[in-house]
């Protein structure tokens, strides 16, 4: 069972990501991940810190890069 490292909560939308943990397991830097999925390091940092929610295409790219389903990398919960 993976622990959820990052939490984003705004306007009743609650998301969590496991990117940081997955990245650490594979000994990858944010820059390595950013290059692999075609984005910038700043974007990866913001997603990991929960400041920014990735778009569906980017979320799919990240999930595919780690070989996991999107639901395992990005956990979404709407608590209205």
Partner 1 sequence: MNEYRISIRRRRILLRILFWFTLAMNIVIGELFVRNILPDQRTFTELANNFSRIVYFGFLIYLGFAIHNCTKLLQNEAILKEKYIASRDERSLFIREKVNRIAFDVFFAVLFCATFIASLINMAVFHTLVAVLAFVVILKAVLQVYMERKY
Q: Is 42 in the site for partner 1 (CB under 8 A)?
A: yes
Stretch that binds partner 1, among 1-9, 20-28, 37-45, 71-79 (CB under 8 A): 37-45
Q: Where are the beta strands (DSSP E) in 1-80?
A: 6-10, 13-17, 74-78
Which residues make Cβ contacts (< 8 Å) with residue 65, sequence separation at least 6? 33, 36, 37
Q: Which is nearer to partner 1, 21 or 45 (CB)?
A: 45
State the residue for tokens 């919960």: 77
The reply to whether 39 sits near partner 1 by the rule CB under 8 A is yes
Q: Which residues bind partner 1 (CB under 8 A)?
A: 34-35, 38-40, 42-43, 46, 52, 54-55, 58
């Amino acid at each position: 069972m993976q622990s959820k490292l990052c939490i984003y909560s705004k306007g009743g939308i609650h998301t969590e990501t496991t990117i940081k943990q997955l990245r650490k397991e594979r000994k990858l830097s944010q820059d390595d991940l950013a290059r692999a999925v075609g984005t910038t390091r700043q974007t990866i940092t913001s997603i990991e810190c929960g400041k920014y929610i990735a778009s569906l295409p980017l979320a799919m790219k990240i999930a595919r890069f780690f070989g996991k389903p999107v639901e395992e990398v990005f956990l979404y919960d709407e608590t209205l």
